[in-house]
């Protein structure tokens, strides 16, 4: 942990459903494995206790704790949220604390038989907590709720009390260190995955969707258009005389020009439109719900906005091809028709909009 913050607080995702899902996906298997291990461990603890000493607590009660432990542990297999996993983890810890007590109460060995078990639980459970609230509640249960009845009812002497207090402090510190390192590991891994996702999905020069991301989103829009029967149009854009810009003003100037075009497209499109840099100086846009007339109007508005932009080493302009979806069109076919219209726009003088036949 850094500055006492949880992973969610560190990366600014408080209440973020995506981050909760990430926690459940990445840490969930660890939680399930440890809770099932705790159930098996309790069963062994109860069995060894039954073989090594007498107790006034009936065996059915001592072994009966296995059933609710197993039920809760198995319930984690269906849990899909970090909150649900945390609550199930707390339930298992409470059941373990109660089970340890009923296995040790009235045994002739006294508190020495069960106090070590109380110390193991907080350390063993420290990796399963997915937020600070659950961790604090678990530590309170492990350090106070479970052991206090033993210390009070079994009349431990001052030496045993000192031993317990010392070991439990050590256990709490070790648990905090383990939990903190897990939080840091999960947080750093999450941020790394987000950065890699950003690199894969976003074009670095323009801030628009990368080619793979655009194609993924475009296919989803095309499928939705097929299902609903709604209109869909594609625009294919190309920066005019881009090679001349690079040759006369350097590739850095070309990068600036691409950034200006990217900003202009983003500012003049609707939130539901999909735009991406396809490669080089080429861009593609999908306009859901747009017929040919409205798509051409959008293309003309984009062309005019780029022509009016400032900040590049030379005047910028784009040529645009427009194509609307046909019933049998694949994404590749739709983009190919828009690209053919773009070729016609460049052949007819550039800085213009052409429609696909």
Structure tokens at 339: 């690209």
Give the gyration radius of the chain's Cα atoms.
32
Distance of CA 302 to the CA centre of its chain: 35
Whether the per-residue pLDDT at 5 is higher than 70: the answer is: no
Q: Provide the β-strand partners of residue 319.
A: 238
Q: Give the pLDDT of residue 56.
A: 75
Half-sphere exposure of 107 (CA within 13 A, CB side): 23
Please state, in angstroms and rounded to a whole number, the distance separating the CA atoms of residues 106 and 122. Answer: 24
Please state, in angstroms and rounded to a whole number, the distance separating the CA atoms of residues 207 and 258. Answer: 10
Burial class of residue 51 (count of CB atoms within 10 Å of its CB; 0-12, 13-18, 19+): exposed
| Domain boundaries of the chain, sorted by first residue | 7-196, 211-355
Mean pLDDT to the nearest integer, 320-341: 91
Look-up: residue for tokens 């296919």? 219
Distance of CA 99 to the CA centre of its chain: 36
- Which CATH class, in words, describes the domain spanning 211-355? alpha beta
Q: Full-prediction pTM beyond 0.85?
A: no
At 300-324, the pLDDT tens digits run 999 999 999 877 667 899 999 999 9
The region of weakest confidence among 238-247, 269-278, 286-295 is 238-247
Q: For residue 151, what are the contacts with CB-CB under 8 A and spacing of at least 6?
A: 111, 161, 164
Please state, in angstroms and rounded to a whole number, the distance separating the CA atoms of residues 237 and 345. Answer: 10
Whether the per-residue pLDDT at 296 is higher than 60: the answer is: yes
Structure tokens at 242: 């881009």
Q: For residue 61, what are the contacts with CB-CB under 8 A and spacing of at least 6?
A: 102
Whether the per-residue pLDDT at 53 is higher than 80: the answer is: no
Please state, in angstroms and rounded to a whole number, the distance separating the CA atoms of residues 307 and 351. Answer: 8
Q: Give the pLDDT of residue 15.
A: 46
Strand, coil or helix: what is 77? coil
Q: For residue 302, what are the contacts with CB-CB under 8 A and spacing of at least 6?
A: 235, 237, 264, 265, 268, 269, 318, 320
Whether the per-residue pLDDT at 131 is higher than 50: the answer is: yes
Asked if residue 38 lies in contact with residue 125, where contact means CB atoms within 8 angstroms, the answer is yes
């Amino acid at each position: 942990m850094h500055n006492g913050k949880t992973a969610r607080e560190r990366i600014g995702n408080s209440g973020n459903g995506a981050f909760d899902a990430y926690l459940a996906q990445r840490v969930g298997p660890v939680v399930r494995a440890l809770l099932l291990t705790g159930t098996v461990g309790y069963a062994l603890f109860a069995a060894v206790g039954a073989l090594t000493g007498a107790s006034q607590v009936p065996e059915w009660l001592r072994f009966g704790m296995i059933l609710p432990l197993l039920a809760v542990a198995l319930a984690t297999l269906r849990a899909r949220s970090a909150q649900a996993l945390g609550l199930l983890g707390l339930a298992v810890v409470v059941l373990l604390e109660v089970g340890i007590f009923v296995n040790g109460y009235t045994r002739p060995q006294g508190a020495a038989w069960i106090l070590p078990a109380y110390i193991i639980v907080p350390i063993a459970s420290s990796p399963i907590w997915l937020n600070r609230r659950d961790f604090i509640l678990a530590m309170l249960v492990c350090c106070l709720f479970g052991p206090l009845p033993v210390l009070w009812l079994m009349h431990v002497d001052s030496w045993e009390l000192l031993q317990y207090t010392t070991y439990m402090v050590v256990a709490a510190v070790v648990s905090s260190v383990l939990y903190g390192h897990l939080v840091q590991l999960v947080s750093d891994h999450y941020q790394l995955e987000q950065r890699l996702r950003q690199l894969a999905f976003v074009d670095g020069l323009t801030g628009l969707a990368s080619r793979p991301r655009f194609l993924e989103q475009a296919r989803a829009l095309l499928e939705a258009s097929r299902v609903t029967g709604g209109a869909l149009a594609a625009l294919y854009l190309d920066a005019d005389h881009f090679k001349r810009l690079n040759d006369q003003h350097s590739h850095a100037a070309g990068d600036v020009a691409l950034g200006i075009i990217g900003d202009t497209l983003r500012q003049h499109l609707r939130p539901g439109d999909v735009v991406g840099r396809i490669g080089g100086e080429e861009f593609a846009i999908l306009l859901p719900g747009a017929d040919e007339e409205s798509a051409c109007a959008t293309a003309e508005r984009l062309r005019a906005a780029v022509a009016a932009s400032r900040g590049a080493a030379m005047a910028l302009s784009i040529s645009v091809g427009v194509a609307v979806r046909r019933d049998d069109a694949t994404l590749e076919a739709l983009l190919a028709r828009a690209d053919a219209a773009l070729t016609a726009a460049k052949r007819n003088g550039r800085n213009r909009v052409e429609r696909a036949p």
